[in-house]
């Protein structure tokens, strides 16, 4: 494995780093990704499971799917990529980890400052009164949770066609605009507005690095493409950082 002398120099000298992660970062933990041959969207329909219309049509179906995914996410552990990112955080004065993942694995690995652009599977909220819940359990009998006000409760995740959470998106744009070094890791970089972030960083002068198993739509714009598993490349990047910053 090798990184360029330019990236090594950046790792040594920069103060402001921003990272965007996607499903590929959790793949080595056993959480399925969305696209590609084995991706969730090759077997399931996003318009049924990840849209407001789909939820209103069949909330029971959507809740069953989120419950199933929650069980998977509870049964897995963070992998070397998550731990490497948590370690990286301690080396830089401004380090922003922006994730499209809803699985909590960055936080479980010890990352402190995580901006969740697509929500979090542990949370849900009432569509009537806005009350938040972190303890919703779906069962056969109670397959569609209701709030005490009678309102329908939905997962606190972003579905297709919905806006990103305002604070998180604003902070992510701010971090991407200000950073000197940006990593796009394990994302196909096709879902906007998250996929703007690497472009925003580059437009503002950041050195743009992509880590992915394969080329993506972003690859043609990056300064450096590191092809391979995030769980192998990121620990190597951390070793490089330790050598130049300790």
Q: Which residues bind ligand OAD (CB under 6 A)?
A: 22-24, 27-28, 33-36, 39, 50, 100, 118, 158, 186-188, 191, 211-214, 216, 229-231
Known active-site residue 118: yes
Question: Minimum distance between the CB of residue 23 and ligand OAD, rounded to whole angstroms?
Answer: 3
Q: Name beta bridge partners: 78.
A: none
**Six token digits for residue 87:** 């370690």
* CB closer to ligand OAD out of 33 and 147: 33
Radius of gyration in angstroms for the set of CA atoms belonging to the chain, rounded to a whole number: 19
Q: Which of 113, 118, 199, 204 is catalytic?
A: 118
CB 151 to ligand OAD: min, Å: 23
Q: State which residue, 8 or 51, has the beta carbon closest to ligand OAD.
A: 51
Check if the beta carbon of residue 216 is closer than 8 Å to that of residue 187. Answer: yes
Spatial CA neighbour of 121 closest among 143, 140, 136: 136
CB of residue 186 to ligand OAD, shortest distance in Å:
4
Torsional sign, CA 1, 83, 106, 23? positive
State the minimum distance, in angstroms, from the CB of residue 225 to ligand OAD.
Answer: 12
Q: In the complex with ligand OAD, which residue's Cβ is closer, 39 or 151?
A: 39
Distances (CA, A) of 178 to 21, 91, 137, 196: 18, 17, 40, 14
The CA-atom distances, in angstroms, between 194 and each of 73, 76, 103, 170, 190 are: 22, 25, 17, 11, 8
Which single residue brings its beta carbon nearest to ligand OAD? 24
Nearer residue to ligand OAD within complex by CB, 114 or 147 = 114
| Cis, bond preceding 193 (omega within 30 deg of 0) | yes
Nearer to ligand OAD, 147 or 208 (CB): 208
181: its two tokens? 């070094």
Instruction: Tell me how far apart the alpha carbons of residues 217 and 42 are, in angstroms, rounded to a whole number.
Output: 19
Instruction: Give the nearest distance from C-beta 240 to ligand OAD in angstroms.
Output: 18
Check the CA dihedral 163-169-170-176 and report its sign. Answer: negative
Positions marked active-site: 118
């Amino acid at each position: 494995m090798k990184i360029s002398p330019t990236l090594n120099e950046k790792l040594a000298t920069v103060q402001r780093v921003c990272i965007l992660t996607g499903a590929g970062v959790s793949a080595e933990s056993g959480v399925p990704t969305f696209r590609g041959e084995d991706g969730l969207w090759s077997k399931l329909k996003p318009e049924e499971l990840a849209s407001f219309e789909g939820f209103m049509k069949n909330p029971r179906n959507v809740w069953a799917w989120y419950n199933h995914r929650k069980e998977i996410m509870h049964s897995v552990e963070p992998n070397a990529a998550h731990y490497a990112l948590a370690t990286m955080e301690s080396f830089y004065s401004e380090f922003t980890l922006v994730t499209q993942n809803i699985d909590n694995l960055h936080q479980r690995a010890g990352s402190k400052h995580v901006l969740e652009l697509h929500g979090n599977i542990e949370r849900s909220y009432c569509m009537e009164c806005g009350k938040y819940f972190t303890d919703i359990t779906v069962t056969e009998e109670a397959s569609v949770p209701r709030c005490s006000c009678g309102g329908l409760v939905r997962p606190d995740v972003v579905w297709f066609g919905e806006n990103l959470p305002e604070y998180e998106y604003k902070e992510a744009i701010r971090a991407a605009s200000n950073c000197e070094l940006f990593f796009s890791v394990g994302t196909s970089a096709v879902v906007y507005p998250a996929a703007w972030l690497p472009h925003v960083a580059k437009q503002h002068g950041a050195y743009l690095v992509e880590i992915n198993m394969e080329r993506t739509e972003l690859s043609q714009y990056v300064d450096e493409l590191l092809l391979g598993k995030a769980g192998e490349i990121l620990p190597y990047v951390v070793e490089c950082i330790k050598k130049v910053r300790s």
